[in-house]
Structure 1
Amino acid sequence: MSTADKWLTVIALVSVPTVMFGGYSLMRLTAAGKLTDFQRSLFKAGHAHAGVLLVLTLTALTIAGRAELSDPYTWVVGGLLAAGTISQSGGFFLHAAIGQPGKRSFGTTLTVLGAAELAVALLLLAWGVATAP
């Protein structure tokens, strides 16, 4: 396992409990009636995206390691995956905090940016795997 594979995997694994805490927070806020339907739906979407994208990140890092991609290449892919995960899921939370139903906000833009970062990361990973010796 390369240095990049190792540390990016550690970061992703340490991030999993934060998503678990988010689920706990969602349950508490919902039970207390502190979220509107709009906020609850976005909170659920952000939470679900964060969990799924962390699993995607761990899978992508495993693929990068098996393809024996260089450390700098893996850092770029891993960095884009981390930034994309944070941007996309965080955009849902931000829109829940500052947005309004049916209107765009900076949270909406952040979610789209995250999707673009994730797409670039996966295309780079695909290219790295396809051209690996």
Structure 2
Amino acid sequence: MTEEAKLMCGITLVTIPSIEYGGYFLLTVLSGSFKKIEFNNFQKAMFRAGHAHAGVLVILSLICQVLADHAALSTLWVWMVRAGLPLAALMVSGGFFFSALYKNAVKPNGWIKLLYTGIFVLALSLIILGIGLLL
């Protein structure tokens, strides 16, 4: 494993407690223990999706850090992939959370654009990495 992969994996692993806290928050919301604010079904569904995507995409970004070590890509492209994957995890999950955070939300607000941007960054990063591995 290269020093670059170790750096990015270390940074990514340090963010995992925030995902754990999100799981705790989600559990309190879904169990009805969170009494400060009432969340509707739309908000609960968006929080579930945000939490699930955060976990899956962080694991994917960790795997791809090691794969990037073996891609036939220039340093610039490798760093775009290395940074793009964890950034996409933040944007996708953040898009779910922030688009449903306003009071009595029944549909996504403008923050949903963050989700779509994250999907684009994720797809682009994976395509670049895939091409680099095929070369």
Q: Could you say which residue in structure 2 is the equivalent of 1:116?
A: 120
Q: Does 2:39 correspond to 1:38?
A: no
Percentage of pairs with the same residue: 35
Aligned length: 130
Q: Which amino acid aligns with 2:28?
A: R
Superposition pairs of residues 49-68 of structure 1, within 5 angstroms = 49-67=53-71
Superposition pairs of residues 63-82 of structure 1, within 5 angstroms = 63-67=67-71, 71-82=75-86
Dislocated runs of 4+, deviation >4 Å: 68-71
d(CA) in 2 for partners of 1:115 and 1:90?
12
Residue by residue, what CA displacement relative to the aligned partner does 1:79-133 show, whole Å, maximum 9, x if unpaired?
A: 11122111111000011113832x44222211111000000100110121122xx
Q: Does 2:52 correspond to 1:48?
A: yes
1:83–1:127 Cα change, 3 Å: same
More helix by share: 1
* TM-score, L = length of structure 1: 0.86
**Pairwise CA RMSD of aligned residues?**
2.0
Instruction: Give the conservation status (yes or no) of the 8 Å contact 1:57–1:81.
Output: yes
